[in-house]
Structure 1
Amino acid sequence: MDIGYTMVELAMELVVYKSTIDKWERGLTQPNYINKQKIIDFFGFDPRTETITI
């Protein structure tokens, strides 16, 4: 999802390491419960439930 944030900026917003964001994006790891909630709070919705349209 392109929201105009760099990985560093998003990591700072979510209070995680940049490498954590990178691992999530590449599918190497998944956010734990606390970080999932931070993501939902940041986006204002649960991105896992949104339908992607092309």
Structure 2
Amino acid sequence: MVRMLECRSERGEDLRAEREVGELRWPWAQGDGGGDNGGARVEATLEEASHR
């Protein structure tokens, strides 16, 4: 089962993620070796990305 989740970043961008089998997969977080950091890290990830 897959659910599409939508949210907005502070810059007003539409962000989407798939929730599958209880795991959140955020498109911008792929390849970081994580994958199970899910929603708790979304805000921090956005902040880190904006400061680079």
| Pair in the same fold by TM > 0.5 | no
**Which structure shows the bigger proportion of residues in strand conformation?**
2
After TM superposition, the score normalised by the length of structure 1 is 0.28
**Which structure shows the bigger proportion of residues in helix conformation?**
1
